Structure 1
């Protein structure tokens, strides 16, 4: 059996983590197993499922600059104790430089960098992240990306392979009964118009603009409700803005949820005005759910496979976005998915991509 070490920040319910789990659930686990090296001290949402599927979860020191000496010491000891890993696959964008550097020093032959974004968060590690992005080719020897734009951003002119951010499409197909039950559970009336967003409460997802957009929508439709799903470092800031805009009774902050597929059913339109994205998994899921989807022009167009999608410029302003949202109000929701059946974003079409890739690296037929 091949054991692949997947390097992540953590395994909470978020985009790349969900993508990884979709592939993990569908590979032949008699031949390939995923183990996960996380960089958080506490268990994550998916840890129990990983263990149930035969995987292992390890907790490495956090990637703070002051931790680097201790981190590399820990990693050297880890690889010495785990000679079974011939492939290390890292998903933390430019920060992948650190685990892959440790893997190279330990003599791991196959070191995969996987790009999931088209920009870098501007936090206190931003200068280091930029440096690591340019240093990444010195420690990685294989390159993957969620899309063309993400690959070009991270690797420049180097060759890379695209691995679709695939989901289990049938889990998201529209179902009227599920919609009615979920809306009743959430206390939503039949005639309430629900604008939905799923994403980490972070700079990248642009919640400040989401709230400005919804303020305009709320003025156009007295029944409109904004549903925000996710947690993150901007939570208190977002709550404060909701108060300032006097939208406390119109915004539902649902936190991290395990029923996201059902929440899509309860929505009427999905918006993703992100400042940057790779291929957003939530945008894929929302399309399979039959929702009209409004992406910002910073989201790569390759994510769009449904006729109900459109892109809007961030610079167009909240009024333009609100008008487009309101115009989508009467979009028909249907359980028909004929036009989506062949999408590479359906895990049933793409589940063997990683499995075959790993086997090829190790010359296994």
Structure 2
């Protein structure tokens, strides 16, 4: 439970539900502590840690889950958020007679890494182990449930809602952060995302290299951490832009950093419906997304999509165009109109859970 897109979405809902009626407990497949652990425990949630999702050790995993459900007979709903590998938990829930088994789709594609054959097999087993289809967006629903399910409307859309008031443009916060980090005269390109292949940091650094050659005030700020962070720092050194790139790390004030940015960029290889895109547009930032990011996220007139296969110059021009949009204002009405206000959406989800529990 670190500060990443899905985890942050879960925490947004968890903070705003009535925890006297609904309680979230978390099943994590990594043993290391997460950034949200203490907050979860303070709100009454439990965190369980499995030994991992090694296919060769599935009997051990199944035994762990059997014990977990036997010791906690109050669980009526299990909801998986970790892509196709979520079928491990959902199958364990099915064989242990958990009545409500939800798969929550977040990605519009499946990462093509060495785990791909395993993921494809797991995806093929989802339908047999779930009885409710949740999704953050249409593209994610089509990826995991198929076009027929989408055409039939056999899914439930759960928006990646946020605490709107925390992200609305604030000139005072912008001034404070830009002064603190000596960014007053910079054209700040901002990115928020875990350092992993999906987020395409290597490409972003190459684009920024070309932008900085045309704009000596250009500055890149990267929020997040992950397994590729050190290699991206090395790449920045190799591109001779290290003095123009700030690696902030995994911080708890991303909402403030959006105020300091001039442009938000997300050149991802794939996305479902990224929370960061909602956050950035709430801050009324011009946004440059890759064409592999679902178009559903482009609800502001300051959002544009650039093909990943476009010449590098096309990306530079898009960023330059975005930098020319200087005016920022309160964008909260648009965000609420699009159903991304967590105060409203948490009540809807809470009522849905209660109804599902009553039906069992």
Shorter-chain TM-score category? over 0.9
Q: Does 1:31 align with 2:56?
A: no
Q: Does 1:224 align with 2:218?
A: yes
Structure 2 partner of 1:169: 164
Map residues 59-78 of structure 1 onto 2, 5 A cutoff: 59-78=49-68
Q: Does 1:57 align with 2:51?
A: no
Q: SS of the counterpart of 2:246?
A: strand
Question: What per-residue deviation string (whole Å, max 9, x for no partner) do you get for residues 72-129 of structure 1?
Answer: 1111111111111011011011011100111111111111111110111222221010
Q: SS of the counterpart of 1:138?
A: coil
Map residues 9-20 of structure 1 onto 2, 5 A cutoff: 11-20=1-10
Q: Does 1:206 align with 2:200?
A: yes
> Gapped runs of 5+ residues in structure 2?
none
Equivalent residue in structure 1 for 2:179, among 152, 166, 184: 184
Map residues 127-138 of structure 1 onto 2, 5 A cutoff: 127-138=117-128
Q: Does 1:358 align with 2:353?
A: yes
Q: Bigger shift: 95-104 or 337-346?
A: 337-346
Distance 2:230 2:90 in 1: 35
Q: Normalization by structure 2: what TM-score?
A: 0.95
Q: SS of the counterpart of 1:298?
A: coil
Structure 1 partner of 2:33: 43
Q: Bigger shift: 109-118 or 51-60?
A: 51-60
Structure 1 partner of 2:69: 79
Equivalent residue in structure 1 for 2:142, among 125, 148, 152: 152
Question: What per-residue deviation string (whole Å, max 9, x for no partner) do you get for residues 251-301 of structure 1?
Answer: 111111111011111111000011110000001100001110011111111
Structure 1 partner of 2:94: 104
Equivalent residue in structure 1 for 2:309, among 298, 315, 319: 315
Query: For the Cα contact (< 8 Å) 1:163–1:353, is it kept in 2?
Result: no
Q: Does 1:349 align with 2:339?
A: no
Structure 2 partner of 1:3: none
Question: What per-residue deviation string (whole Å, max 9, x for no partner) do you get for residues 113-147 of structure 1?
Answer: 11110111222221010010011111111111110
Query: For the Cα contact (< 8 Å) 2:137–2:157, is it kept in 1?
Result: yes
Query: For the Cα contact (< 8 Å) 1:144–1:162, is it kept in 2?
Result: yes
Distance 2:54 2:285 in 1: 40
> For residues 340 and 166 of structure 1, do their structure 2 counterparts lie closer, same or farther at Cα, with a shift above 3 Å needed?
closer
Q: SS of the counterpart of 1:231?
A: coil
Q: Normalization by structure 1: what TM-score?
A: 0.94
Distance 1:305 1:351 in 2: 21
Find runs of 4+ consecutive structure 1 residues off by over 6 angstroms.
none
Q: Offset of 1:349 from its aligned partner? A: 3.1
User: How many residues were matched structurally?
Assistant: 353
Q: Offset of 1:66 from its aligned partner? A: 3.4
Equivalent residue in structure 2 for 1:118, among 108, 126, 146: 108
Distance 2:335 2:45 in 1: 32
> Gapped runs of 5+ residues in structure 1?
1-10
Query: For the Cα contact (< 8 Å) 2:262–2:326, is it kept in 1?
Result: no
